[in-house]
Structure 1
C-alpha cells in the first residue's frame, strides 16, 4: 500500500475544493494510505472524509514565530515514511515541509516557492481552468485524463450532522428551500462589496421563493447584520427573513463511488510536542 502525504494549508474554501483531488488520488493509487496536513482551524471539514487515514493540524502562526515547532512538526512527518508527497500549496513553507518529510517523490507546482526542493514540478495553469482542474494537473499530464466527477464533497461525523440538523430545525430551515451565502473572506481582495451582496439577495428574493442564510465566523457578524438590515424591506415583503449568522455546514448527499477499505480508519491528530 502506497503511503501518501498531501500538504494543503490554505484556507477553508481552497481546502473544500481539494476534496475531489483527495478522492481521485485515492482511486488512482488503488486505495493508498493518505495523510493530509491542513491549517489549524480547518481540520473539521475533513473529519469524516472516508478517503483519508489521518488529518494533521499545522499551526502556521506558531510555525512563523517558532522555528523549533516547525522542525519538530517536520520530524513527525518524517517518522511516517511517506512514499509520495503532493503539495498543491504555493508557499515556501509547504515546499520545505515536503522536502523535510523525506518522501521519495515530491510533486508540486513549478511556480511555488522553493520549488527546486521538489522532485517533479508541474506548471500551474493561470487562466481558463477551474481550481479543481488545476489540482488534477498534479497527477494527470493532460486534461483529457481528468475525471468527470469533479464536485467537492463534505463528509461529516454523525455528531456534527446531528448538530447541524438541530440548528436547521431551530432556524426553521429543515422543510424549506434556502440559499446559503458567505459574504466574507480572509482576503480583502477576494471579498465582494457589501452593496453587491444586498443586490444579489434582492434579485434572489424577487425571482425565487427561497430563504437566505448568511454564514461565517464570529468576526463576520457585523457584516452580516449590516447586509440583513439593508435588505430588510424586501425581505419582509417576500416573507423570507435573512437568518442571523450561524455556524452551519452541509453534508454531501452523494456517497463515494470508490469506497475505502473497512480496516482503514481515519484519525484526526493535533500533534503535541513532547
Structure 2
C-alpha cells in the first residue's frame, strides 16, 4: 500500500458501501478517518436500504443515499437513476471500499472526478486511483484505504439518534431501566444462526445472573423468537427498525450473537460483545479487551467468507454443538474486563 499523490482537500466526498449491514458498520471507521483528516469535509454515504440507519448513526455523516440494487434500482436503468441523483451533489471524491463492478460503475456514471478504491477489484479499471493491500482483516484493509488518502486509521464508531432512543425506551417499557443483555438471533445466512434452544438456554443463564435478555433481529426472525419464547423473561424486539435496534444495543450491558451486522454494530457502540463464529473466521476481525470471539474451531470451519444458506457437510456442528456454558463464560469475561 502506498499513499496516492497529495491533492487539494475535497469539499464534498461520497463513500459508496452497498454490501451487507456489517460492511457498513466497518466503514464507520473509514468515515471517521476522513472526517478527522478533513474537518470541513461534507461526507455522504451511499448504502443499501438495510444499511441506511447504520450510515445515519455515523457521527458527522451528512446525506445518506439509498441504492436498492436488488429491488427498485435493479439493472442498468436503476443504476443510471441513482447515478443521476448522486451527480446533483457534485462530489469531488468517491471512496469505494466495496470491490464491486456495480459500485465502480455507479461512481463513474455519477461523474465523480476522483474515484479511489482497491486494486484488483472487479471495477478497478474505473477508478482514478487504485490502492493495493494484502490485508485480510476488514478494518485493516479499510485502514489502508484511509492511509492512502492521507488519513489516520480510526476505530468503528456509531451513535444512535435521539428519536431511536425514545422509540427503544417505549418498546422496552419498564425494562428499559434494567441491566439488558441483547441477543442478536438472526442472520442473512442460515449457517451463522445459533440454534433457538441454545439461545433460550443462554437467556436463562443470563437471567439468573441479573440480566434481562432482549431479542433483536429482523421481521423474518419472529418465528425463531417465538421458539425461544419467554426463556429468562426475554423481551422480543425482532422486526423493529435497525435504528431502534442500535438504540437497544447502546442501552445494553452485553451483546451476544453470530458474525452479523447488529453484533458488529454493538462493538462499534462500545458494548461488551461476544461473537459466535461457525462458518466464518474470527481472523477477519480485530477484537478489543471487552470483545470475545467464541468458536469450536472444527476442522471444517471456517467454510465460507460470508456464510452459506446450508452447511456443506449437512451437520452444522460449528453452531449446533456450541454450548451455552462456553458462551456464558465469555460473557462473564467481557463484562469483567
Task: Tell me the TM-score normalised to structure 1 length.
Answer: 0.74
More divergent stretch after superposition (70-79 vs 116-125)? 116-125
Report what 2:157 is aligned to: 152
Measured in 2, the distance between the counterparts of 1:115 and 1:63 equals 26
- The match for 2:76 among 61, 64, 67 is 67
Whether 1:245 aligns to 2:237 is yes
How far off its partner does 1:86 sit?
Answer: 0.6
Shift of 1:108: 1.5
Q: 1:197–1:48: structure 2 CA closer, same or farther, 3 Å change rule?
A: closer
Between the aligned partners of 1:74 and 1:33, the Cα distance in structure 2 is: 18
User: Which of 116, 133, 150 is equivalent to 2:140?
Assistant: 133
CA distance in 2, matches of 1:226, 1:126: 40
**d(CA) in 2 for partners of 1:20, 1:167:** 30
Matches within 5 A, 1:85-96: 85-96=94-105
What corresponds to 1:165 in structure 2?
169
Instruction: Return the alpha-carbon distance in structure 2 between the equivalents of residues 200 and 47 of structure 1.
Output: 32
Deviations 1:49-87 (A, max 9, x none): 441221111111236644222112112222322211111
Does the aligned pair in 2 maintain the 1:111–1:124 contact within 8 Å?
A: no
* Partner residue in 2 for 1:217: 218
Contact 1:20 1:153 (C-alpha < 8 Å) held by counterparts:
no
Distance 1:62 1:222, change over 3 A: closer
The CA deviation string for residues 221-254 of structure 1, in whole angstroms up to 9 with x for no partner, is 111222336xx3xx3xxxxx11123424244599
**CA apart distance, 1:141:** 4.7
Give the secondary structure class of the aligned counterpart of 2:165: helix
Partner of 2:61: 52
SS in 2 for 1:62: coil
Instruction: Flag structure 1 segments of 5+ consecutive residues without an equivalent.
Output: 236-240, 256-274
Higher RCO, 1 vs 2 (CA within 8 Å, ≥6 residues apart): 1
Query: SS where residue 60 of structure 1 aligns?
Result: coil
What is the distance in 1 between the residues matched to 2:26 and 2:181?
A: 19
Q: Distance in 2 between matches of 1:198 and 1:163?
A: 26
Aligned equivalents of 1:63 and 1:89: distance in 2?
A: 20
Moved more, 60-69 or 182-191: 60-69
Tell me, yes or no, if structure 1 residue 102 matches structure 2 residue 107.
no
Tell me how many residue pairs correspond in the alignment. 237
SS of 2:176's equivalent in the other structure is: coil
CA distance in structure 2 between the aligned counterparts of 1:146 and 1:187, rounded to whole angstroms: 30
Q: Which residue of 2 aligns with 1:269?
A: none
